[in-house]
Structure formats: structure tokens, C-alpha cells
Amino acid sequence: MQSFTYERAASAEQAAAAVADRPDAKFISGGTNLLDLMKLEIERPAHLVDVSRLPLNRIEETAEGGLRIGAQVRNSDLAADQRVRSRYPMLSQALLAGASGQIRNKASTSGNLLQRTRCPYFYDRNMPCNKREPGAGCAAFQGFNRMHAVLGASEACIAVHPSDMAVAMSGLDARIETISPGGETRTIPIGDFHRLPGAMPHVETVLGHGEMIAAVTLPLPPPGRQVYRKVRDRASYAFALVSVAAIVEKSGDRVQSARIAMGGVAAKPWRATEAERMLAGAAASNGAFTDAAEAALDGAIGHGGNDFKIPLAKRTMRHTLAAAVESA
Amino acid sequence: MAKTDNRNGPTRRTVLEGGVATGVLLATGIPVGAEPADTVAAAASPTPVPTMPMSLRINAKDLAVELDPRTTLLDALRNHLGLTGSKKGCDHGQCGACTVLVDGRRINSCLTLAAMHEGDEITTVEGLAEGDQLHPVQAAFVARDGFQCGYCTPGQICSAVGMLGEARAGWPSHASADVAAASVALTDAEIRERMSGNICRCAAYPNIVAAIRDAAEEA
């Protein structure tokens, strides 16, 4: 691990300023991803600003009837919050499908959003990776790419975002509140928060240097039954091959509205807007779910090892939609 | 005939502890022998590693240490404080051998910095028993033979203690049919899912699950 200096931030403003002051500084909270990457010298900050004890660890009701989740709320506390479990069950399910009990006790809400890909070539410093070293090339493109993206990828990078939590938050139209070094704040819809790789896969979010996540706000829970379904190589403690978060509102035997987000398929949580549009007003039938899934994966591109993800994502979506209406 | 089990000779543990004592002397600047510590440090390393003072509360004892900020909680415990019960398996949070309790919650001590835990109540496997009275989870592991080589066991036990607290608090898991249900029945499927952050290469899982089931029922 490269040597660094460490300070504990006294306030959100001070933390943002401390990181903004130095291009080689980083925030640290749970550290479960950052320290792992620092041990491998993939991340090499010379200064760490510890934000884990900032008073951003509450989950509060909002005036609009939603919840405001502090950036420092631990994944385990968020998953166990009774309001989240009853009003946003898909978020609890997604959190509980990710990582291990030990890691969820440490990992923060903001850190979960900012965690980096687990692409094996990103982790292997002997292999080229445009995300780790811009311009170096991508070893995954022709390599072992079972875990990689089928949507929104570029020739520069086919890595996926590993979060389960973010997929559920995408389906729930979460908003991310940030604070900048000058104290100014802004709110970013989760769909605009992560960037697709394009030619710059090393730039993963729209955050500026020193801009810190303060909270994630969930709007009023949308009507309909919520289901999070994750498919992975082993039953527990593994990243998604494909996951689907779905909320389906039924009216008689028709779908009133649907919201669908996919994980494990792209560099960001992938909202299936075309499938949602097709399902609004359609019959709540397997035929309609199949058509919607086909539309959601329209334009998907496999790279050999991950070709299976395209049919798997379609089946997982159909299954998840059916589960949501069955229990609605 | 040579005695093969020489109880008076150096053991792996006494060698480790001896190393710890030397490390503490160097780190705290206490002269070693007649030579000033700074001379020793200079000879060992041309650019001295910056250290920072920190106080850690471990197993109800306050301990002052001076450590490189890079020191993980696990390395602080094992290499600087002589608490070698917590084990280093993968050092990347994947195996759970390093699991300790911080303010009653299980975490991977390899994936956190010692500096981040000033003021926290840290409990390692060494701090679970009350004198000679084993913690109920420890006793259950002995009764059920919940191990083979034993390397993962301290992590399994600390993890199980934390997990039982989570279950008592009604936390759901990925194995729970309804995450909104107020309480949880610790079935074997629940125990296995909740303990998935602890790997046992000897695959003593059936007995580990049985031990945790016993401890849960006893509590």
C-alpha cells in the first residue's frame, strides 16, 4: 500500500474542502472497497479524509412522504430499517443480496454508489485496463468476460457496475444530494449520476473532485409490488450476473405502470424505459412480459464469454415481472 | 530419545509475541539496549515511515499505540498488540477469518484502518470468554466440533456472535421470505446465508451450523 496521511473530518464542508485542496486526496468511509484497491495499489491516494463519523447517518422522513438516507448510513442499517422494509422492500432485498454481513456492517450508502468494478483486468495490474490506466487498452474485450456488460459498453471498456443497492435505487427514482467545497449543494437524479464508459471509462460519475455525497432521497414509494431478483454463480456472497428490480402496478388483469432496472449488464444501473413504456396498459401476461424483455435487451451486444447474459437477462426480467404481478 | 513435544522451547506464538515486543519498542522510541532508537530506525529504513499516535479500546482495555496510518485493524491486533486470535486469511474481506466485533457489530478487521477505530469498543475472540467461562458460542463450537484445522474458527465465532445479535434485532436476510416480517426464525438456511462471509476450507459447515443453531436456541 502506498503511504498516505489520514485525517478525520469535522464537518461535511470541511471534508469536501480537505479533498478539494489536494488532487491526490480521497474520502474514506467504510473502506471495504477503497482499502482493498489500495492494498493492490490500484487506488493510490496520498491523503485520506475519513467521513465515516460525520452526522450523516440518519434515515429521515421527507415532506413528500419519502425517505432521506444519510450518506453514512451503513448498508446493514438501511436494509434493516423497518420503513425501508415495509415501503421499499426491493431496496432491502437488493442490499441483502449484496456482499456479506461483515461488509454490510461497514459499507456506507455513498460508498456503495461509488464502489468500483470487479472486472478482473481492472484488478490485475499486469494487464491493460483503460479504467485503471487511460489509453492502456482493454484486456476484457477479448478476454475472460463472463461478468461483463452487454449494454452501454464501449470499445474502451466493458466493465459493469457491481452494486445491487444502486439497481433498486434506480428503479425507485432516487436522487443523490451532494455538497461541494464551497458549501453549495446539488441534487442529481440517480439515472444521471453514473457515466457510461465511452472513451473515458476512468470517469465513472458526474461528481467533481471534492464533491461529496450527503444523502440519497427516495421519493414516495410508487404504487405496485416491488421485487428484486438476483442471479449469480453461487447462492450467496457473489456479484450479479444479472439482476432485475421491478415494480408493477396492476389494475384488473392489466399493467397500470411498471418500473424496471437491471444490474450486472452495464457500467450503471440500467433502467429499461422502453420495456416500461410497452407495459403501461398492456395485459399482465407472460406474452407482454416477454415482449418487454425483448425490448429491454434490444441492442445488447455480447463479447463471447458473456453472450449468455442476453437471454438470461430476458428470462430474469420475465420471471421478476411475473413474480411482481402474482403477488400484487 | 529426543522429546518431540518440548513445552519449554519456543513456540510459534512466543516467537510472534517476541517480534511484537521488539516492534513496540522500535515504534515507541524506547532505546533498545545501549543504542538510541532513532539510530536503530535510521539503520533499518532510510526514510522513516510517518506514524500517528492512536488509542484503541480492545477487549475492555485502553491501549496506546503509535502506528503507520496504513496499518489495518487486523495488523494492529496481530503484529503490534500480540492479539493473534484474529486470523489473516485472504486480507481482502472475502474469507472472514479476521472478523472482530466493533461496538457489537461484526466487521472484517482486514478491510479497515486501525486509525478509524479510535474510541470504538473492539472485541476480538480473546475477549469473548468471561475468565475460564467460554462464551456460549465458543462452548457450542467445542461441543459440536465445529472445526477441523481451526484457522477460520475465531472469525466464525466472532461472526456468529455478531450474527445472533442481528437476528435478535429482527434483521432480515437474503434467505428471509418476507423482509418486512418483524422477527426471524433462524433456520439452517438462514444461518448459512447469514454466515456466508466466513469461509471454512475444511468444509466443517455442517458442524458450524449445528453449533450456531445450538447457541441460538440456548440464548
Q: What angle do CA A151, A154, A157 make, to 5 degrees?
A: 100
A-chain residues near B192 (CB < 8 A): 236
- Pick from A4, A82, A237: which is nearest to B197 by CB? A237
Whole-number Å distance between alpha carbons of B35 and B54: 26
Q: Which residue of A has its CA nearest to B91?
A: A36
DSSP chain B: ---SS-TTS--HHHHHHHHHHHHHHHHHTPPBTTB-HHHHHHHH-SSPPP-EEEEEEETTEEEEEEE-TT-BHHHIIIIIS--TTS--SSSSSSS-TTEEEETTEEEEGGGSBGGGGTT-EEE-GGGSSBTTB--HHHHHHHHHT--SS-TTHHHHHHHHHHHHHHHHTT---TT-S-TT-SS----HHHHHHHTTT---TT--HHHHHHHHHHHHHH-
Whole-number Å distance between alpha carbons of A222 and A226: 9
C-alpha grid cell, residue A169: 435505487
- Å from B209 to nearest chain A CA? 16
- Pick from A6, A102, A105: which is nearest to B52 by CB? A6
Contacts of B175 (CB under 8 A, 6+ apart): B187, B189, B190, B192, B193, B194
**Strands in A56-96 per DSSP E:** 59-61, 67-70
pLDDT at B24 (0 to 100): 46
Q: Are B116 and B71 in contact (CB under 8 A)?
A: no
B-chain residues near A227 (CB < 8 A): none
Q: What is the CA radius of gyration of chain B?
A: 20
Exposed / middle / buried, residue A257 (Cβ in 10 Å: 0-12, 13-18, 19+): middle
Instruction: Decide if A89 and B180 are in contact by the 8 Å CB cutoff.
Output: yes
pLDDT at B41 (0 to 100): 47
pLDDT at B48 (0 to 100): 80
Can you tell me the ipTM of this complex? 0.97
Residue in A263, A191, A181 with CA at minimum distance from that of residue A214:
A181
Q: Are A309 and A150 in contact (CB under 8 A)?
A: yes
Whole-number Å distance between alpha carbons of A96 and A91: 9
* A106 phi and psi angles, rounded to 5 deg: -110, -40
Print pLDDT tens along chain B (219 aa): 444 444 455 555 555 555 554 444 444 433 333 344 444 444 555 678 889 999 999 999 999 999 999 999 999 999 999 999 999 999 999 999 999 999 999 999 999 999 999 999 999 999 999 999 999 999 999 999 999 999 999 999 999 999 999 999 999 999 999 999 999 999 999 999 999 999 999 999 999 999 999 999 987
Tell me how crowded residue B94 is: count the other CB atoms within 10 A of its CB: 17
The fold for domain A225-326 equals Enolase-like; domain 1 (3.30.390)
A-chain residues near B112 (CB < 8 A): 30-32, 35, 106
Q: How many CB pairs under 8 A join A and B?
A: 111
The average confidence (pLDDT) of chain A is 97
DSSP B114-147: GGGGTT-EEE-GGGSSBTTB--HHHHHHHHHT--
Report residues of chain A scoring pLDDT below 50: none
Task: Give me the CATH code for the B136-218 domain, please.
Answer: 1.10.150.120
Mutate to test the interface with B, among A32, A38, A43, A102 (most CBs of B within 10 A): A102
Residue in B78, B77, B98 with CA at minimum distance from that of residue B89:
B98
pLDDT at B17 (0 to 100): 57
Angle between helices B205-218 and B136-144 (to 10 degrees): 140
Whole-number Å distance between alpha carbons of A263 and A270: 6
Residue in A207, A215, A209, A173 with CA at minimum distance from that of residue A190:
A173
pLDDT at B31 (0 to 100): 35
Task: Give me the CATH code for the A5-48 domain, please.
Answer: 3.30.43
Whole-number Å distance between alpha carbons of A279 and A283: 8
Name the β-bridge partners of B58: B61, B122
Q: Which residue of A has its CA nearest to B191?
A: A101
Whole-number Å distance between alpha carbons of B73 and B99: 10
